Homo-oligomer: A and B are copies of this chain.
Amino acid sequence: MWLTTHCRIDFQVGLPTPFIFMLRPGSDDRQWVAEDALSVEPAVPVTEYRDTFGNRCQRLVADPGPFSIDARARVRTAASAATAPGAPFVPVPDLPASLLGYLIASRYCEADRLGDRARHLVANEWPGYDQVRRINDWIRAEIAYRPGTSNVPVSALETLARGQGVCRDLAHLGVALCRALTIPARLVVGYLHGLEPMDMHAWFEAWVGGRWYAFDPTQAEPRGGRVAIAYGHDAGDVALFTQFGPSLAPTAMTVSVERCD
């Protein structure tokens, strides 16, 4: 399916402020960005680089006053989610070396403290995809999805304690539980067609049966219509924007995803 994605963020800047944005989806073997436009107002120089995950990052310095950034893309992506019940767990010795970093506990995914819970949770599941599905279902059942309730990233343990969270928090918990089982897992931020209420979104991916599969504990069923913007160990790697200087919240943010086949 073809989707048109759009995100605009407005700021009121007090001092000249260096920013790093991650707002441009990239093309790879799972999604194809046929068109792509990014503009800033007022116009300041922008440069782009790739981080160690391959994500596209935009750098600029915003001057004092109103500042907005606007990112649009036309993207082809799978209309339905890839699922693979029974896809097997891959033992650590058989994992590609490039995936081993996705087994390590990280700031928001304290996998090293969730081993007992993770093992208990999946005790009756076939190792691999079915375990991750069980984790995803359990999060959906146990942790209330409350869009808009947290502004800063919350860790898996905190999310567990609170019993609720935004999409990113639920995804952190999914990542941490997978890693606790030595299943490689990563956080994804991007767009989801049909998300209610529409907003930037986050979900997680787990590597079973020899490839990455998307899981989304905020949704009742596996869904396609996803456009990934950035991948990382956790939210620390994939902030939509990072600013250096006095703290600065957006004054407005609009997101839309339209079908355009």
Give residues in A with beta carbon < 8 Å to B.
Answer: 18, 20, 26-29, 32-39, 45-52, 54, 57-59, 61, 74, 76, 91-93, 97, 100-101, 103-107, 182, 236-237, 242, 244
Q: Is the CB of B48 within 8 A of A32?
A: yes
Q: Is the CB of B107 within 8 A of A61?
A: no
- Given the complex of chains A and B, what is the CA–CA distance between A46 and B58 in angstroms? 24
How many copies altogether?
Answer: 4
Q: Is the CB of B34 within 8 A of A93?
A: no
Q: Is the CB of A37 within 8 A of B34?
A: yes
Q: Is the CB of A106 within 8 A of B29?
A: no
Q: Is the CB of B51 within 8 A of A29?
A: no
Q: Is the CB of A49 within 8 A of B37?
A: no
Q: Is the CB of B35 within 8 A of A37?
A: yes
Which residues of B lie under 8 Å from residue A34 when comparing CB positions?
Answer: 37-39, 46
Q: Is the CB of A105 within 8 A of B236?
A: yes
Q: Is the CB of B92 within 8 A of A18?
A: yes
Q: Is the CB of B52 within 8 A of A52?
A: yes
Q: Is the CB of B32 within 8 A of A35?
A: no
Which residues of B lie under 8 Å from residue A91 when comparing CB positions?
Answer: 18
Q: Is the CB of A242 within 8 A of B104?
A: yes
Using known A-B contacts A34-B38, A59-B97, determine if residue A236 contacts B47 with beta carbons closer than 8 Å.
no
